[in-house]
Amino acid sequence: MSNIDVEILRSFYENPDNYFSGEDIARKLGLSRTAIWSHIQELKAAGLPIEAVPNLGYKLLGQSPNLIAADIKAQLNTRIIGREVLVFQETDSTQRIVEQFARDGVAEGLVVFAENQKQGKGRLGRKWVSPAKSGLWFSTLLRPGWRPDKVTRLTVLAAVAIMRAIENETGLEIEIKYPNDLMIKGRKLCGILAEMLTEVDYVQYVVLGIGINVNTLLSDYPDEIQPIVTSLRIATGEIFGRSLLAAKVLSSLDHVYREVQNKGFSTIAEEWSDRCSTLGKKITAIFGNEKVRGTAIAIDEEGALVIQMDDGTIKTLRGGDITLEKE
């Protein structure tokens, strides 16, 4: 897919009710009508429902069921995240692909999606189930220039950004479960994984991996996961256009990332702790090999969870894993 495809699609999105003649688009982009025709054929073949009416022109009738890089880019309005967008049909893990690009020195902002991941990675060495063509499975390359202890901020800001985008698009109410799972009514909708290459006091790059269960059904998951998982489709009964949702999520991520870079972390941290369903709850937390019980009482300025143990002592958990105790 090329920039010309992106420009053609942008024209459609700018005036969604209009028909565009091949001649108009050709003039606007400085190309021949035949060249435009062949780009339109390519976009149709990728799954975009483009209607061609003699004497009127072309019109985009709706969204594609496929994830299409040009379609995501045409709906994006970002400065950093999504500078480059790639969609792989199948890979082991988008984390590995982006890490490779990072090692090759690619600039921050690259986003790689996969329609299907054979070995999707979750936090703490777990697997991430990525049913084909029904979610948003992607990784973003970031070079925030921070010290390693500040990286928790990235997962926190990502949780807030994704929560905002999904709530805006769907009207659903999203909860945050510490550290950065997005949930609907206690079931997991989205997971975030940050992997990095770091020196003692400087982070070279972070690969921020995000998995959002969009159009998946419960039957797409192994039996043991079915009781704890959800998707936008399971929660609403609707099927969502993934390229549009991807563009909204990336735009929100770009906005929040730049806000934290320019104005600091405090406003985002506040929104996160306001929406974090873990605070005030009795939890069991795992620190390395140690399992402890207490109450989650606060989130500190770096995004770590402050826990008051049953014996009154205070511990701070950065990342790690918690389970909520049944009330």
Binding residues for ligand BTN (CB under 6 A): 93-95, 117, 120-123, 126, 128, 130, 137-139, 181, 191-193, 209-211
In the bound state with ligand BTN, the residue whose beta carbon lies nearer, of 43 and 192, is 192
Contact residues for 17 (Cβ-Cβ < 8 A; gap 6+): none
In the bound state with ligand BTN, the residue whose beta carbon lies nearer, of 43 and 182, is 182
What is the nearest approach in angstroms of ligand BTN to the Cβ of residue 136? Answer: 8
What is the nearest approach in angstroms of ligand BTN to the Cβ of residue 228? Answer: 11
Phi, psi of 170 (to 5 degrees): -120, -20
Report the alpha-carbon distance of residue 258 to residue 283 in Å, rounded.
33
What is the nearest approach in angstroms of ligand BTN to the Cβ of residue 194? Answer: 9
In the bound state with ligand BTN, the residue whose beta carbon lies nearer, of 209 and 303, is 209
Helix (H, G, I), strand (E, B) or coil at 47: coil
What is the nearest approach in angstroms of ligand BTN to the Cβ of residue 214? Answer: 12
In the bound state with ligand BTN, the residue whose beta carbon lies nearer, of 192 and 203, is 192
How far CA 192 is from CA of 10, 21, 66, 209, in Å, comes to 30, 43, 23, 6
Nearest alpha carbon to residue 37 among 23, 48, 27, 49: 23
What is the nearest approach in angstroms of ligand BTN to the Cβ of residue 111? Answer: 11
In the bound state with ligand BTN, the residue whose beta carbon lies nearer, of 138 and 272, is 138
Q: What's the burial of 159, exposed, middle or buried (CB within 10 Å: 0-12/13-18/19+)?
A: buried
What is the nearest approach in angstroms of ligand BTN to the Cβ of residue 229? Answer: 11
* CB-closest chain residue to ligand BTN: 191
Q: What angle do CA 231, 298, 264 make, to 5 degrees?
A: 80
The answer to whether 184 and 230 have CB atoms below 8 angstroms apart is: yes
In the bound state with ligand BTN, the residue whose beta carbon lies nearer, of 117 and 231, is 117
